Amino acid sequence: MDGDAAQIQIRLVAKQEKYAVSDAPMMVPQSVQRYGLSEIVNHLLGNEKRVPFDFLADGQFLRGTIASYLEEHSLSAENILTLEYVESMLPPTEIASYSHDDWISSVSASSSSRFVVGSYDGVVRVWNAQSECEQELKVHDSAVKCVQAVDGHKVEFLSGSQDRTAIAWGNKNGQKRALVEGVVVNPSGTHFVTASADATIRFWSLAVPKESEQVGEQPQAKKRKGSRMGEVVTKAAIGTLAGHVGGVTCVCFNKDQESQVFSGGWDHSVRAWDVASGVNLSTNLCDKVVLDLDYSAHSKLVATGHADRSLRLWDPRSDDSTVVKLKLTSHKGFVSGVAWAPKSAYMLASASHDGTVKVWDIRSRTPLYTVAATDAKDKGKKLLAIDWHNELLLTGGESGSLRIHSVNSQYDQE
Amino acid sequence: MAPAKSKAGNSKKRTASNRAAREPEVRFPKNSNIEVPSDEEVDSDLEEDVEEGDFDEMLKMMAEEQGIDSGEEGGEVEDDYIAGDSLDEEDQEEEDGDEDVSDSDIEGDSEDASDDEDDDLLLAPSASRSTDDLATAVDSNSEGEGEGEGEDKQLTIRDFGDDLEAWKEYRKTLPTIEAGYASDSSTEEPSNTIGNVPIEWYEDYPHIGYDIDGKRILRPATSDELDKFLENQDNPDVFRTGRDEVNQQNVKLTDEEIDIIRRIQGGSIPDADFNQYEDTVEWFTSKTMQTPVTGAPVSKRGFVRSKSCRLIRQGKITPGKPKQEKPRFYDVWENADEESADAQSSRRPLRLAAPRLALPSHEESYHPPPEYLPTDKEREAWLEQDPDSRKRNFLPQDFQNLRSVPGYQKFLHERFQRCLDLYMAPRMIKKTSQLNAEELMPKLPDPRDLRPFPAAEALVYTGHTGRVRSISIDPTGLWLLSGSDDGTVRLWEIVTGRCAQIWDLKDVIHTVAWCPNPEVGSRVVVIVPTELCSDQKLLVTEEFEEEDAASLPVSWDMPPSSEQSQGIYISVVFHKAVKSLAWHKRGDYWATVTAEEGGASVLIHQMTKHKSQRPFRKLKGAVQTVKFHPNTALRYVRIYNLMQQALVKTLQPGVKWISSVDVHPQGDNVIVGSYDKKLAWFDMDLSVKPYRSIRYHKQAIRQVSYSRKYPLFATASDDGSLQVYHGMVYQDLNMNPLIVPLKILRGHEIRNSLGVLDCLFHPIQPWLLSAGADGTIRLWT
């Protein structure tokens, strides 16, 4: 260590027990950065194989030197600085890329080896990990806008289309009505909601009906569908949530409260609904079109992607005007998809029209990793869908290729 | 009382004794001096002295000198002191003078000594002097040691014995006496500093107080009552003598003082010189006012110049000017030139000085430096040049001396040219304006405060191969329709840029318009004029029955089944190319403009009845575009040849070639874009002239568009840029609309001198869509 360099006492703490070191303060130069601190921790742990660590000061990632952090927060170098360290996330590595003929509008992974892809050619494809297309389901008349896998249920997945239907696929298929923008299934897998461009959200049961229910308001559609797909049973919605002024682009269940649903749409609002009673619980406005939204059961936050190239994090529990906890800006195009990490309270990924996927840690204002397509074919093409399933990050878009990235799961805390 | 007299007595004795006995005697008076106040014996001794009459004699002598009664002790003391002073001078002379000391000298010396002793006790400054005279070093006296406590404080007195020489030597070391000081103090009263306390407090002490140096003032000798009585009998001045108790002295009043006392007793003014009955001097009465009312100095304003001074100032008198003799004969025309010049100068413009000729440079020298001399090539080039286009009208020449310089041939010619220049060329004073450019700028709000507005390119919709002439957005804001020169109409998903559908109509699409009524359903109108101008088609994606429109240049046809399967439900055939198309807000009526002169160019069609009408029988000029007013069923039609005829109002935009018109959603404002680069904003309540005319584009404006939801409007131009403005229309009718330029959006490429052909605001978002000649549609957010 340089003798004349300014030094500071730090205390290193870790939440992961396997990486815990003595919390005795130590002197380090103020010019040390993340790498130097990581080397120190590895040295203390006596690791043969270096494990990269990230360091958090007061809940925020340390970017740059300690001196710059102290200066930015106008802290004294006299005090002991407590640094929490966590194992760094490794950059996502691309595993596979499945090519489609047309644009991919939505992706969803039902398991680590089964991926459902909705495409603009109206075909729902099911891929397995061996890069084989297991199924090609051509039922929708028009572009499929959304797919959603269902865990552990006889209905395997749902798809929504511009032909105003949502179809539940499984052993027996059922279909729903509306120009469907988004479809999600509640965690217990008994009900699902659909978001529509007609500014409504509809609430459906997944229970397969014995016979087609009369859908009163749309006889034409029913007639048409019924004539073409004889085996498909038509269902009527249980309830309709009306309140959005513009089209609804995205909808999401609150994974903690099964009856609560979040939605966002063209009217710049993020709304919370109680589907059981059909009541609009809260409405938060942000002046920008909401293109996608996701709820994390770990951090209890709603992440939204916006047309102003930013992500916003909302705390639905707070009632005051400061519901927007954080605004993350780094994308250069519409943020078309957001997905929380399934096991982490901090990690989320976003897909954008600028063709990049960014992995964020909400303790840092800058993205951890930016993954851009490497193929010339995919380069700069819009990404439209993203899904994070366990260790896999699935993206699809204009280029028609479903790209699967692996994200190391060791990073997940708690 | 004792000390002075006892000393006097002692000195008397000493005169009798020889000189050798002098010093012990000197010691004695000191001791006696100290002991006297408390010792009765000294009193008796004193009385003996008095009996000797020695002292009295001396006092009398002094009193005679001074004119003071010697019996009075206060006066005696003073006289003593004065006498001592004079003796002291004698003493000095004696010292400096001869060695032989006469008797008188000694007498004087002794007197001196005794007086000095008195001085010592009464006046501190003379203390050291007394010791000098006595040839003894008495330190204690000079330090003001109290005689009362003197017994235990032994005075250091050097005994020189008979050693006169030693004494003299010692004397030399003593400080010299300042005669001036003593003479000054001779006039001083011995002042007692005890203050205003009863003198009875000092009755039991030998002193009566302290002088200014803190030394004791010993009580002067007092005579007994008999003496006083005798003295008073003898003294003629007894009536004017008083007693100063503090200083224990008798004070004799002077004649003046007695006179003052007499006056006071008589009740008159004490000052003898004061004249009580002086004449009054009248300074300030009603008659005289010798003192001013205020003390302020006289103002200059009040100063009135004399008449001659005024005349001098006015120039009527010139002092010292020699008197002019009047000539006998006058020159009548003497001032004729000047007068006429004066009269003319008032009418003439201001005389302008002739421009100065440039100073000669090195080139014009007869012997210029060699670098100024032209080379042969330059010379040839100069000679070949046209004389008018030459940079200079001569060639530098070199002469060895001035003598060999020939006469300048062109001198007269040049002088003539110069005169011509001065005579012919008009000159005028250039007036520079003092206006600051920033002051002329209107105060506009910061564009950042006017968000949201489209500021950046978000999406590019690519697919068209020809220039995109027209775009239209569906009322929900999800879909975009575009018509292009490549003969296709495309439907786009706005948010993703996905081309959802393509209709290939194999003809140039001039204009597309989406039916604005969302209740009717998705209805698209596409006008496809062919080259033959015969089979223009109207395509509607809804089913309608067909009716014939009679006596109009329009025919409503059901499209063939192949087109029906594409979603084309009806086609309306025009005989001329359709240039513009506008839907009414309710979605039933639509208007078209065809490339046709006269009233038949504008047609209004009703969708439900499949009928067409011709609203205008006569129109001057060709109609370029048509719009429906959003609230009322009025149409504002602009005619491209400056005239614009309407049912209600004619607007005069002051532009030559109107390209596009848009009506504000609230209906009272209209913007007009023109091919001559101007944008005109009309406030219809205000005037038929433009409220604001804006010319920012470098090329023709192709399209203007209001935002339906936000206070924004945009212009598209052939220079490849779009300009976004904030156009706030206030509900308050007294407030003029606020127009703020916000952003210039560049991105479209210019193809064949065509830039952006159409622009349109998103119906619910602050987004702008533009169609360009480069075959792209761009979304700006």
What pLDDT sits at residue B182?
45
Looking at A87, A112, A140, which one is the last position of a domain?
A: A87
As a whole number of angstroms, the distance between CA A143 and CA A37 comes to 51
As a whole number of angstroms, the distance between CA A196 and CA B67 comes to 143
Confidence of residue B565 (pLDDT cuts 50, 70, 90): low
Q: Tell me how far CA of residue A297 lies from CA of A311, A325, A340, B227, in angstroms.
A: 18, 16, 9, 135
Of chain A, the percentage scoring pLDDT greater than 90 comes to: 6
Taking Cα atoms as reference points, which of B538, B527, B530, B533 lies closest to residue B483? B527
pLDDT surpassing 90 at residue B369: yes
- End-to-end CA distance of chain A: give it in Å, rounded: 36
Confidence of residue B569 (pLDDT cuts 50, 70, 90): low
Q: With CB atoms and an 8 Å threshold, state whether B495 touches A246.
A: no
CB of B611 within 8 A of CB of B605? Answer: yes
pLDDT surpassing 80 at residue B582: no
What pLDDT sits at residue B745?
92
Q: With CB atoms and an 8 Å threshold, state whether A266 touches B764.
A: yes
**pLDDT tens-digit readout, B378-390:** 999 999 999 888 8
Looking at B175, B190, B205, which one is the last position of a domain?
A: B190
Q: Best residue in B498, B709, B769 to probe A by mutation, most A CBs within 10 Å?
A: B498
Q: Is residue A180 part of a domain?
A: yes
Q: Are residues B181 and B71 in the same domain?
A: yes
Q: Are residues B609 and B684 in the same domain?
A: no
Q: Are residues A135 and A237 in the same domain?
A: yes
As a whole number of angstroms, the distance between CA B320 and CA A383 comes to 108
A103 interface with B at CB cutoff 8 Å: yes
Q: Are residues B80 and B160 in the same domain?
A: yes
pLDDT surpassing 60 at residue B63: no
Q: How large is the average pLDDT for residues B265-279?
A: 87
Sequence-ordered list of residues with C-beta below 8 angstroms from that of A223, at least 6 positions apart, any chain: none
Confidence of residue A192 (pLDDT cuts 50, 70, 90): confident
Looking at A34, A55, A87, which one is the last position of a domain?
A: A87
Residue that the structure tokens 């007499």 belong to: B262
Q: Are residues A98 and A141 in the same domain?
A: yes
Q: Does B539 or B592 have the greater pLDDT score?
A: B592
CATH classification at residue A47: 3.10.20.90
Give B766 to chain A, closest Cα distance, Å. Answer: 9
Q: Are residues A78 and A113 in the same domain?
A: no
Q: Is residue B550 part of a domain?
A: yes
Give A303 to chain B, closest Cα distance, Å. Answer: 19
What pLDDT sits at residue B561?
57
As a whole number of angstroms, the distance between CA A376 and CA B542 comes to 43
Q: Is residue B422 part of a domain?
A: no
Q: Is residue B600 part of a domain?
A: yes
What pLDDT sits at residue B535?
32
- Please state whether the peptide bond connecting residue B665 to the residue before it is cis, i.e. omega within 30 degrees of 0: no
Q: How large is the average pLDDT for residues B617-636?
A: 51
B452 interface with A at CB cutoff 8 Å: yes
Q: Are residues A39 and A155 in the same domain?
A: no
What pLDDT sits at residue B615?
63
What pLDDT sits at residue B244?
80
CB of B59 within 8 A of CB of B76? Answer: yes
**pLDDT tens-digit readout, B668-713:** 888 888 888 888 888 877 777 888 888 999 889 989 999 988 999 9
As a whole number of angstroms, the distance between CA A405 and CA A368 comes to 15
As a whole number of angstroms, the distance between CA B543 and CA B558 comes to 10
Q: Which residues pair with B623 in a beta bridge?
A: B639
Q: How large is the average pLDDT for residues B84-102?
A: 41
CB of A324 within 8 A of CB of A314? Answer: yes
Q: What are the start-end ranges of the H helices in B548-643?
A: 561-565
Confidence of residue A35 (pLDDT cuts 50, 70, 90): confident
* Structural domain total, chain A: 2
pLDDT surpassing 90 at residue B139: no
Q: Is residue A33 part of a domain?
A: yes
Q: How large is the average pLDDT for residues B298-311?
A: 80
As a whole number of angstroms, the distance between CA B660 and CA B536 comes to 22
A248-252, B22-26, B579-583 — most confident range: A248-252
Q: Is residue A300 part of a domain?
A: yes
Q: Is residue B303 part of a domain?
A: no
* Structural domain total, chain B: 3
Q: Find residues 143-172 of chain A whose CB sits inside 8 Å of chain B.
A: 143, 162
Q: Are residues A18 and A154 in the same domain?
A: no
Q: How large is the average pLDDT for residues A53-60?
A: 84
pLDDT surpassing 70 at residue B439: yes
Q: Are residues A143 and A30 in the same domain?
A: no
Backbone conformation region of residue B18, classed left if phi is above 0, alpha if psi is from -120 to 50, else beta:
beta
Chain B neighbors of A197, CB-CB under 8 A? 476, 478
Q: With CB atoms and an 8 Å threshold, state whether A334 touches B500.
A: no
pLDDT surpassing 90 at residue B399: yes
**pLDDT tens-digit readout, A344-362:** 888 899 999 998 999 998 8
What pLDDT sits at residue B575?
60
Q: Is residue B291 part of a domain?
A: no
Quote the distance between the C-alpha of residue B58 and its chain's center: 88
pLDDT surpassing 80 at residue B252: yes
Task: Give the angle B20-B26-B28 at the CA atoms, nearest 5°.
Answer: 115
Q: Find residues 475-534 of chain B whose CB sits inside 8 Å of chain A.
A: 476-478, 495-498, 500
Question: Which amino acid is located at B340 in the chain?
Answer: S
What pLDDT sits at residue B8?
40
Q: Is residue B647 part of a domain?
A: yes
Q: Are residues A235 and A120 in the same domain?
A: yes
Rounded to 5 degrees, φ, ψ at A253 are -80, 145
Q: Is residue A79 part of a domain?
A: yes
**pLDDT tens-digit readout, A193-224:** 877 777 778 787 766 554 444 433 333 333 23
Looking at B190, B225, B244, which one is the last position of a domain?
A: B190
Q: With CB atoms and an 8 Å threshold, state whether A289 touches B498.
A: no
What pLDDT sits at residue B339?
64
Chain A neighbors of B521, CB-CB under 8 A? none
Sequence-ordered list of residues with C-beta below 8 angstroms from that of A275, at least 6 positions apart, any chain: A191, A193, A203, A239, A241, A259, A260, A261
Taking Cα atoms as reference points, which of B669, B672, B660, B554 lies closest to residue B602? B554
Q: Is residue A1 part of a domain?
A: no
What pLDDT sits at residue B53?
44
Q: Are residues A328 and A222 in the same domain?
A: yes
As a whole number of angstroms, the distance between CA A326 and CA B219 comes to 108
Q: How large is the average pLDDT for residues A107-113?
A: 84
Of chain B, the percentage scoring pLDDT greater than 90 comes to: 10
**pLDDT tens-digit readout, B761-777:** 998 888 999 999 999 99
What pLDDT sits at residue B715?
93
**pLDDT tens-digit readout, A300-315:** 889 999 988 899 998 8
Q: Are residues B639 and B779 in the same domain?
A: yes
Sequence-ordered list of residues with C-beta below 8 angstroms from that of B593, at least 6 positions apart, any chain: B578, B579, B580, B581, B601, B602, B623, B624, B625, B626
SS3 B363: helix
Give B776 to chain A, closest Cα distance, Å. Answer: 16
Q: Which domain holds residue A52?
A: 7-87
Looking at A57, A87, A117, which one is the last position of a domain?
A: A87
Q: Tell me how far CA of residue A350 lies from CA of A257, A293, A384, B644, in angstroms.
A: 24, 10, 10, 54
Buried b / exposed e over A78-109, threshold 16 CB at 10 Å, is eeebebbbbbbbeebeeebbbebeebbbbbbb
A180 interface with B at CB cutoff 8 Å: no
Q: Which domain holds residue B675?
A: 628-781
Q: How large is the average pLDDT for residues B156-173?
A: 69
Per-residue tokens: B729:
């229309």
Q: Tell me how far CA of residue A15 lies from CA of A39, B397, B521, in angstroms.
A: 18, 96, 59
Helix or strand run (H / E) with residue B169: helix B164-173
What pLDDT sits at residue A358?
92
Per-residue tokens: A113:
């080896």
Q: Are residues A284 and A265 in the same domain?
A: yes
Q: How large is the average pLDDT for residues B539-566?
A: 44
Q: Is residue B350 part of a domain?
A: no
Q: Are residues B511 and B633 in the same domain?
A: no
Q: With CB atoms and an 8 Å threshold, state whether A247 touches B478.
A: yes
pLDDT surpassing 70 at residue A171: no
Q: Are residues B634 and B698 in the same domain?
A: yes
Q: Are residues B607 and B637 in the same domain?
A: no
Q: Are residues B475 and B588 in the same domain?
A: yes
Q: With CB atoms and an 8 Å threshold, state whether A334 touches B459.
A: yes
As a whole number of angstroms, the distance between CA B169 and CA B173 comes to 7
**pLDDT tens-digit readout, B630-645:** 444 334 444 433 334 4
Q: Are residues B676 and B542 in the same domain?
A: no
CATH classification at residue B694: 2.130.10.10
pLDDT surpassing 50 at residue B6: no
As a whole number of angstroms, the distance between CA A192 and CA B13 comes to 152
B458 interface with A at CB cutoff 8 Å: yes
DSSP state string for B193-242: -S-SS-GGGGTTSSEEEE-TTS-EEEPPP---HHHHHHHHHH-TTGGGEE
Q: If you average pLDDT over every residue of chain B, what do you get?
A: 70
Q: Are residues B605 and B516 in the same domain?
A: yes
Q: Is residue B246 part of a domain?
A: no
Q: Are residues A33 and A129 in the same domain?
A: no
Per-residue tokens: B344:
């003319």
Q: Are residues A43 and A168 in the same domain?
A: no
Per-residue tokens: B641:
């040849």
Q: Are residues A376 and A330 in the same domain?
A: yes
Q: Is residue A11 part of a domain?
A: yes
CATH classification at residue A395: 2.130.10.10
pLDDT surpassing 50 at residue B122: no
Give B477 to chain A, closest Cα distance, Å. Answer: 9
Looking at B583, B616, B649, which one is the last position of a domain?
A: B616
